[in-house]
Structure 1
Amino acid sequence: MKNHITTIAFDADDTLWVNEPYFQEAEKEFCVLLEDYLPQHSVSQELFKTEMQNLHLYGYGIKGFMLCMIETICRVSNGTASMQLINKAIDLGHELLQQPVQLLDGVTETLEDLKGKYRLVMATKGDLLDQERKLKKSGLENYFHHIEIMSDKQNTDYTKLLKHLDCKPENFMMLGNSIKSDILPVLEIGGFTAHIPFHTTWAHEQHEHQLKHERFIELESIDEVLKYLVQ
């Protein structure tokens, strides 16, 4: 691994900065809003079902989450919910869009160590404007040679990214918290990967099976990647 890597890509949400806990808190508040119609755990299930049904239309991010909350309200209430309830769901989305950017431990130090030695890339899913906002607030923008905000993270998406970067898979490493989105597709196209677990993961991104692969490493924190790379 040490002799091949020239380009290192980083996922953003829950790899560089905190994200999923904000969504989970918003979802808890949303479930409370609808407890007159269904138990909170059932509301959560209905919201997730709505998100999965609409993922191919809305993609990933807060705006899609807001639309799914509104649709869930309409379905769960059989169209009887008040505009006040819908406005409260919209407020939850607005609050998400204004959350502070909290960097995870070791991120700045790791990027500082790697800058100039490798071509650094941010490759993340999500809403374009929101991810651009978080990147600007994070203070990390200048570390990256290229920013890629992706509609999805499938094999074809990574192949397109590598083509744009003029980078061969064997010279590429992806770091992220999602086995499903950051690791498996990159392994399938021949790249290297490093998984950095986050303490909470969206249900859609969860992967239960233990992974072993010659081009895969499991880290406890982002700075651990340094010992696997040429310094």
Structure 2
Amino acid sequence: MTAGALTLGFDADDTLWQNEHFFRLTEARFTELLADYAESEHLAERLLALEKRNLDRYGFGIKGFTLSMIETAIEVTEGRVPASVIKEIVDAGRDMLVHPVEMLSHVEETLERLAGRHRLVMITKGDLFDQERKLAASGLGGFFDAVEIVSDKSRATYERIFGQHGDGAEHAVMIGNSLKSDVIPAIEAGAWGVFVPHELTWAHERAETPTAAPRFREIVHLGQLEGVLAEVVRELRR
């Protein structure tokens, strides 16, 4: 580890690899299956409401999404949804769980340059088995000093992780595509938050951009991260 090393927290889904894209494709398939019972926009609204309501029960991830689709189908059809449709929904969820990992641009080369210079920690939420599967399939595991798969991301989450895997949040940077989960709570914990927007963002993850926060940064892609880190290191040395 070099002098001035930071703890770098990396979100996984839609920061390192594609994720929301597959949820959108599956949701489109879901609305087609139930087209005889409700308009696609109405179905999407009902599904989102149920997903949010079920987060405390199922957590984040594909399995909870699949159960919420089944529950939505039962509700909108008043219990008359055919078993064949339920089977299609289950099959769609199963397909998501085995879909190949599609890496985003600038990920591997950026991690390769940063590994060894800083402490790299993957901080992701969702289903344990699915997140472990995607990490293994990505081939990125060797770049990380630690992997934290959490049920949710909050200020306390980042205080714990950055304290355990470094010198505290004040010497840490969290990088991710979600303002609500990756950036804002990390800044609240005392870290820098680097926002890397993705073209698709789940409605539940949207939040106001904290442009006034001194430790907020935004980049277009991970290839620009090293410039931000150099700025952070200079700031800490003052």
TM-score relative to the length of structure 1: 0.95
In structure 2, the partner of 1:109 is: 109
1:173-213, CA deviations, whole angstroms, 9 ceiling, x for partnerless residues?
A: 10000011000001111111111000110010112446232
SS of alignment partner, residue 124 of structure 2: strand
RMSD over aligned CA atoms reads 1.5
SS of alignment partner, residue 229 of structure 1: helix
CA–CA distance in structure 2, aligned partners of residues 162 and 7 of structure 1: 7
Residue 168 of structure 2 is aligned to residue 138 of structure 1: no
Matched residues, percent identical? 42
CA–CA distance in structure 2, aligned partners of residues 42 and 189 of structure 1: 38
Residue 228 of structure 2 is aligned to residue 215 of structure 1: no
User: How far does residue 164 in structure 1 lie from its aligned partner after superposition?
Assistant: 2.6
SS of alignment partner, residue 90 of structure 1: helix
CA–CA distance in structure 1, aligned partners of residues 194 and 187 of structure 2: 10
CA–CA distance in structure 2, aligned partners of residues 175 and 220 of structure 1: 12
2:7 and 2:166 in contact (8 A); partners too = no
In structure 2, the partner of 1:183 is: 183
Residue 137 of structure 2 is aligned to residue 151 of structure 1: no
1:76-116, CA deviations, whole angstroms, 9 ceiling, x for partnerless residues?
A: 11111111110010011011111110111100010011011
The 1:5–1:117 alpha-carbon spacing in structure 2 relative to 1, beyond 3 Å, is closer
In structure 2, the partner of 1:10 is: 10
User: How far does residue 161 in structure 1 lie from its aligned partner after superposition?
Assistant: 1.6
CA–CA distance in structure 1, aligned partners of residues 5 and 113 of structure 2: 15
Q: Partner letter of residue 211 of structure 2?
A: L
CA–CA distance in structure 1, aligned partners of residues 194 and 4 of structure 2: 15
User: How far does residue 162 in structure 1 lie from its aligned partner after superposition?
Assistant: 2.4
1:102-147, CA deviations, whole angstroms, 9 ceiling, x for partnerless residues?
A: 1111000100110110010000111100000000000100000000
CA–CA distance in structure 2, aligned partners of residues 163 and 113 of structure 1: 24
The 1:219–1:156 alpha-carbon spacing in structure 2 relative to 1, beyond 3 Å, is same
2:110 and 2:223 in contact (8 A); partners too = yes
Flag the structure with more relative contact order, 1 or 2, with Cα contacts below 8 A and sequence separation at least 6: 1
The 1:166–1:229 alpha-carbon spacing in structure 2 relative to 1, beyond 3 Å, is closer
CA–CA distance in structure 2, aligned partners of residues 216 and 209 of structure 1: 9
1:10 and 1:122 in contact (8 A); partners too = yes
Give the count of matched residue pairs: 229
TM-score relative to the length of structure 2: 0.92
Q: Where does 1:1-231 land on structure 2 (aligned, <5 Å)?
A: 6-209=6-209, 211-230=211-230
CA–CA distance in structure 1, aligned partners of residues 43 and 66 of structure 2: 15
SS of alignment partner, residue 214 of structure 1: coil
Query: Unpaired segments of 5 or more residues in structure 1?
Result: none
Query: Unpaired segments of 5 or more residues in structure 2?
Result: 234-238
2:5 and 2:119 in contact (8 A); partners too = no
CA–CA distance in structure 2, aligned partners of residues 178 and 4 of structure 1: 27
1:8-35, CA deviations, whole angstroms, 9 ceiling, x for partnerless residues?
A: 0100000000000110010011011111
